[in-house]
Structure 1
Amino acid sequence: MKKVCIITTSLGEGGAQRFSGLLSQMLSNLGYNVKIVSTKNIIDYEFSGALFNLEEKLEGRVSIFNKTKILRAYFKKHNFNFIIDNRPRSEFFKEFLLYYYVFKAKNIISIIHSYYLKTYLPNSKCLARVLYFKNANILAVSKEIQNAVVSTYGFKNCIHIYNPIELASITAKANEEIEVEGEYILCYGRIEERVKNFTLLLQAYKISSLSNSNIKLYIIGDGKDVDFLNFKIRELELENYVIHKSYIKNPFPFVKKARFTTLTSRHEGFPLVLIESLSLGTPVVSVNCKSGPKEIIEHEHNGLLVENNSPTELANAFDTFIKNKPLYEFCKKNAVESVGQFSMDNISKAWKKLLD
């Protein structure tokens, strides 16, 4: 049985981390011996396999020396067939130490989850080649990221496999009872203004007709910019219309009951919130950021895809889904079927082909 190690920053807080849990389940179901290394002690998402919680093992001894010593012993002991590196990797010398001294595996697969490549690759093409040409294969979570990596760095060993959804699990969780009053649209995820652009979301909601139609905006999530978000809500005088809820382990009942969900990011990778929403029959309104939305949304078929950084265009899209009921119902009808290609079964086949 082939041994696979998935390395992640945590099993909570974000889409890339949720992907780690889903990947562990897929590979376990395929018969691989799966272990997960989590560098932080945040465990919210479901996973399969044995978990090695680095933060817990360190017991407060957080020096680079201790981390390196513990990790090197772990990887030397297991001698994995594959290491799947799911972490951000922007610091060259740290990654050089890990890839050449700590990781012990026959193959390393380095995943890129964002079109903002600097989060995962060094700025210098030469340094990037030192890390990845001999020691790893690059896996992008969208075609746009794959194309950007190939054109920017010249890596011919870059492929793409989309993020999966576990439809049965999401559907079951979505049936949990919640208390909400009236209609609302929904945005959920990490509260980080630099990436998620809540300013655009709030400006668009302000100039749309949603508040006049008594349709509120729910924002679910935590992050470093919660105070900024609340400030913008007050600044735009939207306190009576915008409801912020802290991170909820199971957001899917809110997704299922939403009129539609929306995404306003400056950049993404392959946003799970869009395919999760569609899988529950909830249409989406998204900006056409790089990357992911245009590979998920077929405009006016399962959602609306609009120009990025334009509050007016986004507000018009909000209003379209409220006023044009035949179009809304058409997109809603097509939602679930449109994301069938991202099912665990289909994405599992791509991973099995890669690892075999």
Structure 2
Amino acid sequence: MKKICIITTSLGKGGAERFSALLSQMLSELEYEVHIMMTKNDIDYAFFGEMFNLQQEFGDNISDFKKIKVLRSYFKKHAFDVIIDNRTRNKFLKEFILYHYVFKAKKMISIVHSYYLLNYLPRSKFLAKLLYKNKTKIITVSKEIQETVISSYGFKDCGHIYNPVDVEKIDKGASQEVAISGDFILSYGRIDEPVKNFTLLLKAYKKSFLHQKGIKLYVIGGGKDVIFLKEKIRELALEDHVDYIPFVNNPFPYVKKALFTVLTSRHEGFPMVLLEALACQTPVISVNCKSGPKEIIQHGANGLIVENYNAEALANALNTLVDDKSLYTKCKANAKNSIDKFSIEKITKEWENLLR
């Protein structure tokens, strides 16, 4: 039985963190011995396997030197067959020490979760190749990221595996009741303005006729820019039309009831919110950011994809999906079947093939 360690910053709130939890389930079901090494004590998602929670074990006052010593001992003791690194990696010296002196395994898999590559790779090709040794394989979460990593850095051992969607779990979550009435559209996820661009969302919503028709905008999530979001809602005089709901572990009853969900990110990796909405039979509208949306959305079939940073185009898309009943019905009917290739069964098989 192969012994695998998933390294993650936490299992709380973010898409990459949710993926770590889901990956632990997938690999456990393949009967691998799964361990999770987590640096921050933040858990929102159910996981499988044995946990080593660094912050819980040693608190916040552990020095960098002691942290390296503890982790080196941990990886030496377990002698993993495979380490899957799911963290952001944007400090070269720190990562060089971890990859060359701390992480011990027969094989390293480093996942790139965002098109913003500097979160995962140094700007310098030389340093990138120095960091990721021969036994490290880079896996990206979209085909577009894979192509960019290969063309920008020349890595030959780089593949892509999409993030999976657990339709059965989403169906179960969506069946729960939630006290909400009236028509609304939805944006949910981490409240991080530099990435998610809620300013564009709010401006487009104000330009649209949705609020005049009594269709509200709900924004669900937690993060560092909640105050910014609330101030922007007030600045645009949208207090009566936009409701903010703090992070909830199960957003799917809201997703199920929404007319459609909207994504306005400046950049992504492979946005799970689009897959989750389609799994709930809810159409989607997304800007054509890099990367992910155009690999998920079939324009005019399960949703709409529009030019990024264009509030007018986004407002028109919001209006169109409300006004064009036949288009809306078509997108809703196609939603669930359109994500078959991202099913947890198919993605689990791809991970099994990789690990073999």
TM bin (shorter chain): over 0.9
Q: Is the 8 A contact 1:200 1:311 kept in 2?
A: yes
Scaled by the length of structure 2, what TM-score is found? Answer: 0.99
Q: Cα distance, 1:135 vs. partner?
A: 3.8
3-state secondary structure, aligned to 2:335: helix
Does residue 330 of the first structure (1) align with residue 330 of the second (2)? Answer: yes
1:84 aligned partner: 84
Does residue 192 of the first structure (1) align with residue 192 of the second (2)? Answer: yes
**For residues 303 and 350 of structure 1, what CA distance do their matches in structure 2 show?**
27
Q: Cα distance, 1:69 vs. partner?
A: 1.4
**For residues 304 and 296 of structure 1, what CA distance do their matches in structure 2 show?**
11
2:134 aligned partner: 134
- 1:104-143 equivalent positions in 2, closer than 5 A: 104-143=104-143
Q: Is the 8 A contact 2:268 2:291 kept in 1?
A: yes
Does residue 8 of the first structure (1) align with residue 8 of the second (2)? Answer: yes
Does residue 224 of the first structure (1) align with residue 231 of the second (2)? Answer: no
3-state secondary structure, aligned to 1:231: helix
Q: Is the 8 A contact 2:264 2:286 kept in 1?
A: yes
**Structure 2 residues not aligned, in runs of 5+:** none
2:73 aligned partner: 73
Q: Cα distance, 1:222 vs. partner?
A: 1.1
Percent identity of equivalent pairs: 60
Scaled by the length of structure 1, what TM-score is found? Answer: 0.99
3-state secondary structure, aligned to 1:305: strand
2:32 aligned partner: 32
Q: Cα distance, 1:33 vs. partner?
A: 0.4
User: Which segment is superposed worse, 124-133 or 205-214?
Assistant: 124-133
**For residues 293 and 311 of structure 1, what CA distance do their matches in structure 2 show?**
17
- 1:302-341 equivalent positions in 2, closer than 5 A: 302-341=302-341
3-state secondary structure, aligned to 1:352: helix
**For residues 313 and 60 of structure 1, what CA distance do their matches in structure 2 show?**
47
1:342 aligned partner: 342
Q: Is the 8 A contact 2:106 2:135 kept in 1?
A: no
**For residues 137 and 60 of structure 2, what CA distance do their matches in structure 1 show?**
33
Q: Is the 8 A contact 1:75 1:104 kept in 2?
A: yes
Q: Cα distance, 1:181 vs. partner?
A: 2.2
- 1:265-304 equivalent positions in 2, closer than 5 A: 265-304=265-304
- 1:170-181 equivalent positions in 2, closer than 5 A: 170-181=170-181
Q: Is the 8 A contact 1:133 1:155 kept in 2?
A: no
1:244 aligned partner: 244
User: Which segment is superposed worse, 123-132 or 261-270?
Assistant: 123-132
Read off the aligned partner of 1:160 and give its amino acid letter.
H
User: Which segment is superposed worse, 62-71 or 330-339?
Assistant: 62-71
Structure 1 residues 322-345: Cα deviation after superposition (integer angstroms, max 9, x where no partner): 100000010000000001111110
Does residue 151 of the first structure (1) align with residue 154 of the second (2)? Answer: no
Q: Cα distance, 1:241 vs. partner?
A: 0.2
3-state secondary structure, aligned to 2:37: strand
**For residues 67 and 258 of structure 2, what CA distance do their matches in structure 1 show?**
44
Read off the aligned partner of 1:103 and give its amino acid letter.
F
**For residues 253 and 98 of structure 1, what CA distance do their matches in structure 2 show?**
41
Q: Cα distance, 1:31 vs. partner?
A: 1.1
Mark the CA change 1:224 to 1:60 in structure 2 (over 3 Å): closer, same or farther.
Answer: closer
**For residues 59 and 152 of structure 1, what CA distance do their matches in structure 2 show?**
39
Read off the aligned partner of 1:114 and give its amino acid letter.
S
2:260 aligned partner: 260
Structure 1 residues 49-78: Cα deviation after superposition (integer angstroms, max 9, x where no partner): 111111111133321012111111110111
3-state secondary structure, aligned to 2:330: helix
User: Which segment is superposed worse, 223-232 or 206-215?
Assistant: 223-232
3-state secondary structure, aligned to 1:318: helix
Q: Cα distance, 1:162 vs. partner?
A: 0.1
1:354 aligned partner: 354
3-state secondary structure, aligned to 1:339: helix
3-state secondary structure, aligned to 1:212: helix
Q: Cα distance, 1:235 vs. partner?
A: 0.7
Q: Cα distance, 1:314 vs. partner?
A: 0.3
**Structure 1 residues not aligned, in runs of 5+:** none
Q: Is the 8 A contact 2:141 2:161 kept in 1?
A: yes
Q: Cα distance, 1:125 vs. partner?
A: 1.1
Structure 1 residues 161-204: Cα deviation after superposition (integer angstroms, max 9, x where no partner): 00001111111011111111211000000111100000000000
Read off the aligned partner of 2:300 and give its amino acid letter.
E
**For residues 284 and 89 of structure 1, what CA distance do their matches in structure 2 show?**
31
2:54 aligned partner: 54
**For residues 32 and 208 of structure 1, what CA distance do their matches in structure 2 show?**
50
Read off the aligned partner of 1:67 and give its amino acid letter.
K
Read off the aligned partner of 1:50 and give its amino acid letter.
E
1:98 aligned partner: 98
The root-mean-square deviation of aligned C-alpha atoms, in Å, is 0.7
**For residues 130 and 241 of structure 1, what CA distance do their matches in structure 2 show?**
52
3-state secondary structure, aligned to 2:212: coil
**For residues 233 and 148 of structure 1, what CA distance do their matches in structure 2 show?**
36
Q: Is the 8 A contact 1:202 1:233 kept in 2?
A: yes
3-state secondary structure, aligned to 2:211: coil
User: Which segment is superposed worse, 132-141 or 155-164?
Assistant: 132-141
